């Protein structure tokens, strides 16, 4: 009947018979539930019954925990709700498992891979067996193995559905550690980088969204952040989301002219019929105008930020509140207006292979000015990945500066980053990245942001490695890049699944193949944009649907690898 | 004996109700489950003949295929009751007469080491996290530690699973023993170091950190841990002294700028800033002096100068700033130099609202001419602009700059006198 967010303390009043806890199997949540249950007034009438629903699976550990707290018996039903893949849009599915990357690559815990396999089995049950499976990476191999085994164990699941997908491509995130570290430059990517998109919603600073009504004076500026939903159901958003941000302005101004002209039509309507027609269009036009207003505001916000990093947008401060009180003027001063572009410049230098083997001045300056730690970590990891690991001296230098500036406890995070392969010493003495970059054409100097002809537009010059692999798989196939594939971690493989006779699809001439790309460990909006770009290419030959364990950006990704540090109380 | 209603249908009902687009997703998944249960029920049917003794226990066949083990427990979670591990079996309606609704299987039947290892290997092959965890808990309880560790050493997946489980469940001691056994000494060290975050009391934390120093960290990390301990030790001393100074009320800087927070557990650079702020003039011998910190922690010049500059600028101690950049060469002449660019110095001074006369001194020292001009113009350091244009012999720019200065000011006069100087060979 009613839905509340889980939080500690007493449960809300609501006059209901049953209370169902709908949770992921995480121990921290079990503590909150225990608190809720213990505080429930047993004397109240009518008594309320408790149930718990784990998503996507029950967990022995959680139930043991609840038992140890003495509340397990309070639940009448303990069930699970097998929600593996959640549709985010017509071509996008996500498990929203934020710990998947950490579990798979740091802890060798393959639980999320099991769920991925189960999700894929469900997809196949709905959309037909996928005849071809390609993969690159250890986790990809595991998922494929599980799928094959699951298929064997359930022979009855052979169904007579015409396969929608021709190919499944499983990709480990650690095959391409570079892409999530770079700042995304598509419209949607930038919104995510700066404000963070959660489950297709974004919360924005309200000032630019205040309605300009006559006679309301400037008194009541809204204080609540403006919440907007972003998906392809909104026409304008679908049009601009995947464009490079520099190309958005012209679309918006064209749209403004079209909408203005449409509203002007009312002056030309002469007959009753024409007026009626105009009126019937009105809701659509008003929706379009409101959509345009919203996105113009968002574009302005982004423009402001990308030309001047202000204090308010530094959402990832890793400094305790005590420090901010008076060291603010020293450490968090308003950063000079070119900072976004300075940051971008350094990223692009690294990605194009320039000076990746020495300590970088900009990074040092940022540490000295105590920029947010995650920003620093993204940059040093980017340098490390573009250099196949840093020289021991350079690595030690960065580590020392980071620990001295942000605190020694960050040794734990740095250790995690090393384990994940993001920030490590160069072991073989060889840097493979230039070869990989050249063979796969990852850096394109002549990028066209307005009318792109290549996926590199999403990072204004850098083509996401993962998407290149997908692109080359479709045409001309991975045989052509065998050598480079060997330089990337993990095995690559191909599997075929038998289709019942009669279901083998013969593609009509001109009909596109459909490939499902599954990113194990996370995917960014920029990569999604790049795949969509490939889908709509003339003579591209393939359309893509994207699935992943989690939608990520560099900040949320690095954050998931950081040790949870308790703030010291004062 | 343990009876529990296992409502198999409930699971299916959930699946049927669930759908994102309103379509009956449940029907197909449901049919998979039905097929699955019918394939396992045939398994169960075979086995029922093998049963002896208590009919509510089903013997798990040794040759059970890897996935079937998991499929037997599908959707249900093993639990521990009366000290025994129970795996509830989901039964289809056909078989409930044979096995009884609510049957469970106890792992206690796996007595020999051989059996236990087979069970573990099958669980791992099934990839089901809950099953693997359950089996590991069982083995943890029923096997001698050395044997368990030895067997896990050669079973990577199970090993990783156990480590993860021990971390989650907070079983620190067993975790460390396991890591030591595996000779993963660095991990032992880091794992133990991590515990310091749970210690709130500073003295106890200090003690704990001291104990961490001897742990098998990598060489680099060892020095960091050492530094962490030393830093906290210093901070405790400084904090105690300063609290005293504050309450005594004798020190001017503490009176004018009361501390809003304690220095405990702050990073090194922050501590240095604090020290440059409150204890700048102290001799190297004291724990709270900046130079002592610099020496003890080998803080590089660059970082030191930046931090000291920021602190003294905040206090508007321009003389101190001056001294920071002044060095005497062997002839006794002073000159200014900085390990950071002077444009950075200017930036920091400007941020702290330094008066123009002070700012001007440092703008003058900026090496790059263009930057110097930009900064000078931006911050209205007229003399510097004028001098620079004069050095560049740029008459046009100098003339143009006249409108930026006040009429009748000394600067205007200066410009005029330079423009009238016959000896300058202007370039334009």
Determine the distance in angstroms separating the CA of B393 from the nearest CA of chain A, rounded to an integer: 31
Residues in chain B within 8 Å Cβ distance of A84: none
Please check whether residue A197 is in contact with residue A230, taking contact to mean a CB–CB distance below 8 angstroms: yes
Q: Is the pLDDT of residue A229 over 70?
A: yes
pLDDT at B105: 55
**Mean pLDDT across the stretch A289-296?**
93
Q: Is the pLDDT of residue A39 over 50?
A: yes
Q: H-helix or E-strand containing A18?
A: strand A18-23
**Mean pLDDT across the stretch A556-561?**
96
The answer for B 104-163 residues in CB contact with A (under 8 A) is 127-130, 133-134, 137, 156-157, 160-161, 163
Question: b or e along A238-253 (b: 16 or more beta carbons within 10 Å of the residue's beta carbon)?
Answer: ebbbbbbbebbeebbe
The most confident of A196-210, A520-534, B19-33, B259-273, by mean pLDDT:
A520-534
Q: Is the pLDDT of residue B12 over 80?
A: no
Q: Which residue has the higher pLDDT, A109 or A101?
A: A101
CB atoms A323 and B77 under 8 Å: no
Confidence of residue A61 (pLDDT cuts 50, 70, 90): confident
**Mean pLDDT across the stretch A403-421?**
95
The answer for A 137-176 residues in CB contact with B (under 8 A) is 142, 146, 149-150, 152-157, 159
* Closest residue, chain A, to B225 (C-alpha): A408
Q: Where are the beta strands (DSSP E) in B179-338?
A: 326-328, 334-336
Query: A9 at the B interface (CB within 8 A)?
Result: no
Q: Is the pLDDT of residue A419 over 80?
A: yes
Pick A415's closest partner by Cβ from B75, B190, B225.
Answer: B190
CB atoms B303 and A570 under 8 Å: no
Query: B15 at the A interface (CB within 8 A)?
Result: yes
* Closest residue, chain A, to B133 (C-alpha): A60
Please check whether residue A246 is in contact with residue A341, taking contact to mean a CB–CB distance below 8 angstroms: no
**Mean pLDDT across the stretch A288-305?**
90
Q: Which residues make Cβ contacts (< 8 Å) with residue A198, sequence separation at least 6?
A: none
Query: B39 at the A interface (CB within 8 A)?
Result: yes
In degrees, rounded to 5, the angle at the alpha carbon of residue A226 between the alpha carbons of residues A225 and A228 is: 140
- Report pLDDT digits (tens) over A355-373: 999 999 999 989 988 899 9
pLDDT at B30: 30
- Report pLDDT digits (tens) over A461-470: 999 999 999 9
Determine the distance in angstroms separating the CA of A126 from the nearest CA of chain B, rounded to an integer: 7
pLDDT at A240: 96
Pick B35's closest partner by Cβ from A154, A370, A569.
Answer: A154
Please check whether residue B113 is in contact with residue B147, taking contact to mean a CB–CB distance below 8 angstroms: yes
> What does the DSSP 8-state code read for residue A202?
E
3-state secondary structure of B149: helix
Largest CA distance in chain A: 81
pLDDT at B274: 95
CB atoms B11 and A79 under 8 Å: yes
Of A384, A393, A387, A376, residue with least CA distance to A419: A384
Q: In what order do the strands lie in the sheet with B104-106?
A: B79-81, B84-88, B104-106
Residue of B7, B43, B126, B129 to mutate for A, most A C-beta atoms under 10 A: B129
Percentage above 90 pLDDT, chain B: 27
Pick A330's closest partner by Cβ from B127, B130, B314.
Answer: B314
Query: A28 at the B interface (CB within 8 A)?
Result: no
Q: Mean pLDDT across chain B, nearest whole number?
A: 76
The answer for A 413-452 residues in CB contact with B (under 8 A) is 415
Determine the distance in angstroms separating the CA of B18 from the nearest CA of chain A, rounded to an integer: 9
Q: Is the pLDDT of residue B89 over 70?
A: no
Q: Which residue has the higher pLDDT, B416 or A492?
A: A492
Q: Is the pLDDT of residue B68 over 90?
A: no
Give the DSSP letter string of A375-393.
HHHHHHHHHHHHTTSB-HH
Cα(B292)–Cα(B234) distance, integer angstroms: 11
**What pTM did the predictor assign?**
0.83
Q: Which residues make Cβ contacts (< 8 Å) with residue B164, sequence separation at least 6?
A: A103, A107, A108, A109
Tokens of A495: 């599997």
**Mean pLDDT across the stretch A230-239?**
93
Of A144, A124, A142, A126, residue with least CA distance to A134: A144
Q: Is the pLDDT of residue B55 over 70?
A: no
Query: B68 at the A interface (CB within 8 A)?
Result: yes
Query: A80 at the B interface (CB within 8 A)?
Result: yes
Q: Which residue has the higher pLDDT, B51 or B103?
A: B103
Q: Which residues make Cβ contacts (< 8 Å) with residue B303, sequence separation at least 6?
A: A368, A401, A404, B269, B272
Q: Which residues make Cβ contacts (< 8 Å) with residue B161, sequence separation at least 6?
A: A108, A109, B124, B129, B132, B133, B136
> What are the CA-CA distances from residue A510 to residues A532, A541, B165 (Å)?
18, 8, 52
CB atoms B190 and A411 under 8 Å: yes
Residues in chain A within 8 Å Cβ distance of B194: 412, 563
Q: Which residue has the higher pLDDT, A47 or B166?
A: B166
Of A187, A195, A340, residue with least CA distance to A249: A187
Least confident of A96-105, A179-188, A528-537: A96-105
> What does the DSSP 8-state code read for residue A244?
B
pLDDT at A311: 33
**Mean pLDDT across the stretch A375-403?**
96
Q: Which residues make Cβ contacts (< 8 Å) with residue A478, sequence separation at least 6?
A: A134, A469, A472, A485, A492
- Report pLDDT digits (tens) over A487-534: 999 999 999 998 877 777 666 667 789 999 999 999 999 999 999 999
pLDDT at A319: 36
Please check whether residue A490 is in contact with residue A137, taking contact to mean a CB–CB distance below 8 angstroms: yes
Q: Is the pLDDT of residue B333 over 70?
A: no
pLDDT at B87: 54
**Distance between start and end Cα atoms, chain A:** 42
Residue of A89, A151, A326 to mutate for B, most B C-beta atoms under 10 A: A326
pLDDT at A321: 39
**Mean pLDDT across the stretch B286-291?**
93
* Closest residue, chain B, to A88 (C-alpha): B20
User: A525-535 and A187-195 are packed helices; what angle lies between their axes, rounded to 10 degrees?
Assistant: 170
pLDDT at B410: 85
Q: Which residue has the higher pLDDT, A486 or A27?
A: A486
Query: B197 at the A interface (CB within 8 A)?
Result: yes
Query: A393 at the B interface (CB within 8 A)?
Result: no
Cα(B369)–Cα(B78) distance, integer angstroms: 75
**Mean pLDDT across the stretch B114-141?**
83
Query: B264 at the A interface (CB within 8 A)?
Result: yes
CB atoms A323 and B15 under 8 Å: no
Dihedral sign for Cα atoms in the order B308, B310, B315, B316: positive
Please check whether residue B178 is in contact with residue B162, taking contact to mean a CB–CB distance below 8 angstroms: yes
Q: In what order do the strands lie in the sheet with A492-496?
A: A86-89, A92-94, A542-548, A513-520, A167-172, A132-136, A492-496
CB atoms A404 and B303 under 8 Å: yes
Determine the distance in angstroms separating the CA of A60 from the nearest CA of chain B, rounded to an integer: 6
Query: B169 at the A interface (CB within 8 A)?
Result: yes
pLDDT at A347: 96
> What does the DSSP 8-state code read for residue B127?
T
ipTM for the complex shown: 0.83
Query: A281 at the B interface (CB within 8 A)?
Result: no
pLDDT at A562: 93
Instruction: Phi first, then psi: give them for residue A105, nearest 5 degrees.
Output: -100, -20
pLDDT at B5: 28
Q: Which residues make Cβ contacts (< 8 Å) with residue A548, sequence separation at least 6?
A: A93, A94, A95, A518, A519, A520, A522, A523
Query: What are the beta bridge partners of residue A136?
Result: A171, A492
Dihedral sign for Cα atoms in the order A134, A135, A136, A138: negative
Cα(A329)–Cα(B346) distance, integer angstroms: 15
Query: B79 at the A interface (CB within 8 A)?
Result: yes
Of B297, B230, B264, B300, residue with least CA distance to A367: B300
Tokens of A177: 């550690």
Confidence of residue B46 (pLDDT cuts 50, 70, 90): very low
Query: Chain centroid to CA A307: how far?
Result: 24
Residues in chain A within 8 Å Cβ distance of B262: 322, 570
Least confident of A19-23, A59-63, B178-182: A59-63
pLDDT at A220: 62
């Amino acid at each position: 009947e009613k839905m509340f967010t889980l939080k500690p303390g007493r449960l809300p009043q609501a006059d209901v018979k049953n209370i169902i806890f709908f949770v992921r199997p995480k121990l921290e949540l079990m503590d909150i539930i225990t608190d809720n249950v213990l505080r429930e007034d047993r004397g109240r009438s009518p008594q309320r019954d408790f149930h718990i629903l784990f998503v996507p699976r029950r967990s022995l550990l959680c139930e043991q925990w609840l038992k140890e707290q003495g509340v397990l018996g309070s639940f009448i039903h303990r069930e699970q709700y097998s929600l593996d893949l959640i549709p985010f849009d017509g071509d996008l599915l996500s498990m929203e498992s934020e710990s998947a990357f950490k579990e798979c690559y740091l802890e060798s815990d393959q639980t999320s891979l099991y769920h991925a396999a189960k999700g894929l089995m469900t997809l196949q049950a709905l959309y037909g067996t996928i005849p071809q499976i390609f993969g690159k990476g250890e986790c990809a191999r595991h998922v494929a193995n599980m799928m094959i085994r699951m298929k064997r164990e359930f022979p009855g699941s052979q169904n007579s559905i015409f396969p929608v997908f021709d190919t499944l491509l499983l990709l480990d995130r650690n095959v391409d550690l570079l892409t999530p570290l770079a700042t995304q430059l598509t419209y949607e990517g930038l919104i995510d980088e700066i404000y963070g998109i959660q489950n297709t919603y974004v919360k924005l600073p309200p000032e630019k969204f205040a309605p300009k009504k006559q006679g309301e004076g400037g008194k009541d500026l809204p204080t609540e952040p403006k919440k907007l939903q972003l998906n392809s159901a909104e026409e304008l958003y679908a049009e601009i989301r995947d464009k490079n941000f520099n190309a958005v302005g012209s679309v918006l101004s064209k749209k403004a002219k079209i909408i203005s002209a449409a509203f002007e039509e009312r002056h030309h309507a002469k007959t009753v019929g024409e007026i009626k027609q105009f009126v019937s269009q009105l809701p659509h036009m008003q929706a379009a105008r409101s959509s345009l207003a919203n996105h113009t505001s968002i574009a302005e916000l982004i423009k402001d930020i990308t030309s001047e990093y202000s204090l308010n947008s530094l959402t990832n401060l890793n400094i305790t509140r005590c420090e901010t009180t008076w060291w603010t003027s020293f450490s968090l001063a308003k950063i000079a207006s070119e900072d976004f572009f300075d940051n971008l410049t350094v990223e692009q230098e690294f990605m194009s292979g320039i000076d990746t083997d020495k300590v970088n001045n900009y990074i040092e300056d940022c540490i000295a000015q105590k920029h947010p730690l995650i920003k620093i970590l993204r940059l040093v990891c980017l340098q490390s990945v573009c250099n196949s690991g840093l020289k021991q001296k350079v690595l030690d230098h960065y580590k020392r500066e980071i620990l001295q500036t942000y605190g020694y406890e960050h040794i734990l995070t740095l250790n995690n980053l090393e384990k994940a392969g993001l920030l490590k010493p160069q072991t073989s003495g060889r840097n493979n990245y230039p070869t990989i970059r050249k063979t796969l054409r990852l850096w394109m100097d002549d990028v066209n942001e307005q009318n792109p002809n290549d996926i590199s537009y999403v990072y204004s010059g850098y083509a996401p490695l993962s998407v290149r692999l997908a692109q080359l798989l479709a045409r001309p196939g991975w045989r052509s890049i065998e050598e480079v594939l060997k330089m990337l971690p993990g095995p690559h493989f191909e599997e075929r699944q038998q289709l019942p006779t009669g279901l083998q699809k013969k593609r009509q001439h001109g009909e596109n193949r459909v490939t499902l790309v599954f990113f194990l460990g996370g995917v960014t909006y920029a990569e999604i944009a790049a795949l969509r770009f490939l889908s709509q290419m003339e003579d591209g030959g393939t359309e893509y649907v994207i699935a992943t364990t989690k939608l990520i950006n560099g900040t949320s990704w690095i954050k998931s690898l950081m040790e949870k540090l308790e703030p010291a109380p004062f | 004996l343990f009876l529990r209603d296992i409502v198999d249908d409930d699971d299916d009902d959930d699946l049927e109700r669930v759908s994102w687009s309103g379509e009956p997703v449940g029907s197909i998944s449901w049919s998979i489950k039905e097929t699955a249960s019918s394939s396992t029920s045939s398994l169960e049917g075979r086995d029922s003949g093998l049963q002896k003794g208590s009919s509510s226990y089903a013997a798990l066949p040794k040759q059970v295929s890897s996935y079937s083990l998991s499929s037997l427990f599908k959707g249900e979670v093993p639990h521990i009751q009366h000290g025994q591990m129970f795996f509830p079996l989901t039964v289809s309606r056909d078989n409930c007469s044979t096995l009884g609704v609510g049957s469970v299987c106890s792992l206690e039947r796996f007595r020999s080491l051989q059996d236990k290892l087979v069970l573990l290997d099958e669980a791992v092959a099934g990839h089901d996290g809950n099953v693997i965890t359950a089996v590991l808990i069982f083995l943890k309880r029923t096997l001698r530690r050395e044997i368990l560790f030895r067997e896990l050493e050669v079973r990577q997946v199970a090993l990783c699973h156990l480590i993860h489980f021990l971390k989650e469940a907070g079983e620190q001691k067993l975790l460390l023993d396991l890591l030591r056994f595996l000779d993963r000494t660095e991990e032992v060290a880091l794992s133990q170091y991590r515990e310091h975050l749970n210690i709130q009391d500073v003295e106890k934390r200090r003690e704990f950190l001291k104990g961490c120093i001897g742990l098998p960290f990598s060489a680099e990390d060892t020095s960091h841990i050492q530094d962490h301990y030393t830093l906290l030790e210093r901070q405790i001393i400084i904090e105690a002294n300063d609290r005293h100074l504050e309450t005594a009320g004798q020190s001017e800087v503490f009176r004018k700028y009361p501390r809003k927070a304690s220095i405990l557990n702050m990073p090194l650079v922050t501590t240095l800033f604090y020290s440059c702020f409150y204890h700048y003039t102290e001799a190297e011998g004291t724990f709270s002096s900046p130079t002592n910190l610099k020496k003890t922690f080998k803080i590089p010049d660059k970082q030191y100068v930046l931090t000291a500059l920021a602190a003294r600028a905040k206090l508007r101690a321009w003389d101190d700033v001056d001294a920071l950049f002044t060095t005497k060469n062997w002839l006794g002449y002073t000159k200014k130099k900085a390990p950071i660019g002077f444009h950075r110095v200017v930036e920091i001074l400007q941020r702290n609202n330094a008066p123009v006369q002070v700012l001007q001194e440092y703008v003058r020292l900026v090496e790059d001419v263009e930057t110097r001009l930009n900064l000078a113009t931006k911050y209205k350091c007229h003399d510097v602009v004028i001098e620079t244009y004069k050095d560049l012999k740029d008459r046009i720019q100098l003339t143009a700059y006249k409108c930026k200065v006040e009429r009748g000011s000394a600067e205007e006069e200066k410009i005029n006198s330079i423009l009238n100087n016959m000896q300058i060979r202007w370039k334009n």
